[in-house]
Chains A and B, each alone.
Chain A
């Protein structure tokens, strides 16, 4: 019995783009290193290592991981608890009772905003849990629902 809701499938695009951004940083470093290597006549093994690294990075962060991550990501918000499943190689399942929730917020970076997505951050006294990349309306609805459910029962930390 896995949690039933998936996150928005636009998350795939967002994760691929952010993977691309990460890779391009590696490329910029690589180009800078190449220039330095030529100018100062360093040995070329560093460039070799960096090229191999960037190929692996590109494959993992752009092609492999977003898909696996999306498939794993599930959540379910019930009356009394929030159930989250995430992970790529290690599957993690987290349970947060509603009465432990202290506050909920939705967050939107530039990348998420462009795709009308938002992530929901659920904080307890000791931990924070994020549901990334939900459709904006869904995220807002979820935030309202959780904060309403959480305020039903008040208990001390």
Chain B
């Protein structure tokens, strides 16, 4: 594979789509929002758009033409760039993992997209947007061969593996999401929030274009329909958005499977756009269990992997679900099959009772001014804001109840609640640093805020518990420190 290769020509289309995606926002800002400009001849706008589109097509083609990749001298070499020529050489043994995904366009042409990931950090990674499956497999095999070479330090042996191509992996599905689970998961995902805000933004942007006038003849008609009909319209709209959001989650997480090989977890998912992530187990830094307020009463939770890898360009590689939807009481057993190192009792030491007043105070500090302002300026409806009071109290109480920690062998568990309950489980050897801080008010009550950082994605994930007993911070500290501290300096 030392001769430079190009991507499949369909990459031109992908390039065009990508630049259109990037241009949507500026396009909306410049063309649609200002509306019609008087004084500029009508033909100017179409002309400008045509020129831009032509330019994009040419650019995409040249981009494709200039993009070559090859494997040479133990390096993966990519040369690209239209005006600025870029050469990106990645040492094969530096490559952590290879992600293979298939978008709709790739699937039509039996192609795959390959993401080559190195250790998370400053180095950018390589993306091959469209290559044939056999090429992807050859790259994979070459990289694995190189890694084995480094591992075994024997030169001759690997030559044979070169031609044998595919590495035989003995993998068995350790977790498969069932259809009801998938649907429940999608329905309780909260994706509707994202969709709703998107829909509102869309309507606000395009209310000049969408012919509301023609739909409702005129405004009076619309109002004449009465409150009942208007309300049912609104509810139907909401339901439609909700259904859409749920459907998109179903498509995204359909046929979710976790495979385990000796050293890797292979997570695959997706209906139209398939995605496969390969995660070396030794790069896993911790797990995070999230229970949002819809799933929690039903006893379900989502488990994420905190993993040192992924790239900034590919946002989805930064938050990785291990179990999208799992009954909390099955978690222990399921985790045992996949990551036995993280199997722990989730029973935790709660924070002391005297912390509850601080939790309530922290809510009241901003809720009371809001209530005062609303009640003062918007009488009588502003008095409704008094409802915030019990809500705030409830929220504070939940946050208090969900805060806690535990140390179990080599595992540290920190649990807290911001909007949903979040439990971070970390191995001692993966914690990069711990700290605790106390304000004057906290130290009066002998409380402190405990935090521990692990590496996650390109940055870090910090587990944080507010108002832990100060003594307990010391306990965690002495658990964390290497045991030979006594004979220091």
User: Which residues of A does B touch, CB under 8 Å?
Assistant: 78-81, 87, 89-100, 124-127, 129, 155-157
Contacts and interface: CB of A to CB of B under 8 A. Distances in A.
Given A93-B437, A125-B455, A80 B482 contact: yes
B66 interface: no
Contacts of A96: 432-433
Contacts, number: 79
Nearest to B121: A125
Interface of B: 119, 282-283, 285, 308, 429, 431-440, 443, 453-456, 459-461, 477, 480-482, 484-485, 487-489
| Of listed A81, A100, A155, A157, residue having the most chain B CB within 10 A | A157
Contacts of B482: 80-81, 97-99
Nearest to A79: B488
B437 A126 contact: no
B341 to A, nearest CB: 14
Given A91-B443, A126-B460, A127-B460, A78 B485 contact: yes
* Interface of chain B: mostly helix, strand, loop or mixed: mixed
B144 to A, nearest CB: 19
Given A91-B437, A96-B432, A126-B432, A78 B488 contact: yes
8 contacts: A79-B487, A93-B436, A97-B480, A98-B482, A125-B455, A127-B460, A129-B433, A155-B429
Given A79-B484, A94-B435, A98-B482, 18 more contacts: A78-B489, A79-B487, A79-B489, A80-B482, A81-B485, A89-B440, A92-B435, A92-B437, A96-B432, A97-B480, A125-B308, A125-B432, A125-B460, A126-B454, A126-B459, A126-B461, A157-B119, A157-B283
B481 to A, nearest CB: 6
Contacts of B435: 92-95
A156 to B, nearest CB: 6
A157 B480 contact: no
A81 B429 CA distance: 14
B438 A80 contact: no
Contacts of A80: 481-482, 484-485, 488
A130 to B, nearest CB: 13
A115 B443 CA distance: 35
B434 A94 contact: yes
A100 B283 CA distance: 15
A98 B489 CA distance: 14
B95 to A, nearest CB: 15
Given A78-B485, A79-B489, A87 B433 contact: no
Given A91-B438, A95-B480, A99-B482, A127 B488 contact: no
A156 B282 contact: yes
A127 B453 contact: yes
The 8 closest A-B pairs by CB, nearest first: A126-B460, A94-B435, A92-B437, A126-B455, A78-B488, A124-B432, A126-B432, A125-B455
A64 to B, nearest CB: 15
A97 B438 contact: no
Nearest to A78: B488
B488 A95 contact: no
Contacts of B438: 90-91
Nearest to B431: A100
A132 to B, nearest CB: 17
B191 to A, nearest CB: 29
Contacts of A92: 435-437
Contacts of B488: 78-80
A114 B479 CA distance: 42
